[in-house]
Structure 1
């Protein structure tokens, strides 16, 4: 019997997987004093962190100045690349 997997099924699986991964890291880091910061940031977090527009974030992506991933329609940007890019430009 064939079953069709829908986008909603994949979205739910992704959320479940993310919860499980976060639980593993939470258990490993329970002895840490500072919280584990995400390595990848969503576009909204990038705009807030760097105080830039959505167009500027898109420009960084299109010019490939920072690494990014697209997951379920959302873009995620590498935090280390962003901080390095703007640290270099301020010097």
Structure 2
């Protein structure tokens, strides 16, 4: 039976690679994994895991600002991130 050993340099390289991947994942999570600028209601409900009624309440009480264009409601990326991170929009 042959046993292969890992050198310190190989472990250091693995550590650096893992740390980079973890930082990239955390950076994406901090940004909510959101890359586009504007979202429709269905996308926001899916991102936040909320019902249509809850989203309507967010609009009514000003928790989540929106813009209405041609009968379609749009929500900005920044406002969604603020809501997800518990920051006040007002």
TM-score normalised according to structure 2 size: 0.53
Gaps of 5+ in 1: 1-35
Partner of 1:62: 60
Q: Which runs of 4+ in 1 moved over 4 A?
A: none
Gaps of 5+ in 2: 1-33
Q: Shift of residue 69 of structure 1?
A: 0.6
1:1-91, aligned counterparts within 5 Å? 37-88=35-86
Asked if the contact 1:68–1:78 (Cα under 8 Å) also holds between the matched residues in 2, the reply is yes
State which structure, 1 or 2, has the greater radius of gyration over its C-alpha atoms: 2
Q: Shift of residue 64 of structure 1?
A: 1.1
TM-score normalised according to structure 1 size: 0.52
Q: Choose 50-59 or 36-45, whichever is displaced more.
A: 36-45
User: Which SS does the other structure have where 1:88 is aligned?
Assistant: coil
Asked if the contact 1:66–1:78 (Cα under 8 Å) also holds between the matched residues in 2, the reply is no
